[in-house]
Homo-oligomer: A and B are copies of this chain.
Amino acid sequence: MQTEEENNTLDDFLAIAKALSDPSRVRALLALRRGELCVCQIIALLDLAPSTVSRHMSLLKQAGLVKGRKEERWMHYRLAKPETGTGIIQASLQWVFMATEKDNTIEEDKKRMARILRQSPESLCKTRTKKRKGNQ
């Protein structure tokens, strides 16, 4: 994937563009600017079903925008590092960051994530399991 990369740049690009065309994925990606996050923390941020969040993160990973690391039973995601990315990845990340700079939702997410980070990840997961989720 990095040895030659000469022809189907378009497909790589489209995968990135698709990954970035969903609000939940963009919010998750931007939240990772803080640093590595556990899936359960992203679940808490987005307030979506674990399976949904898992799929979102998987798409971001496939596009090459984030990296995953499993520690014990928790999966941690972080932004793709400069040395890992193909240049397009880094450019894409910069693009999202600048394009969403002044967004209200993202600002709210920062505060929300600050609150989430105050709890330990362990308690977070247990809390969520017991939590009622009664909407559609």
| 0/1 interface trace, chain A 44-59, chain B, CB 8 Å (1 if under) | 0000000000000000
CB nearest neighbor in B for A10:
B103
Interface with B: A74-82, A87-95, A112-120, A128-136, which one? A87-95
Cβ–Cβ contact A100 & B8, under 8 A = no
Q: Which residues of chain B are near A103, meaning CB under 8 Å?
A: 7-10, 13
**Which residues from B are CB-within-8-Å of A9?**
99-103
Q: Which residues of B sit under 8 angstroms from A20, Cβ to Cβ? A: 13, 17, 21
Cross-chain contact B23 with A102 (CB below 8 angstroms): no
| 11 A-B pairs in the complex with CB atoms less than 8 angstroms apart | A8-B105, A9-B102, A9-B103, A10-B23, A13-B20, A14-B22, A16-B99, A17-B20, A20-B21, A21-B21, A92-B95
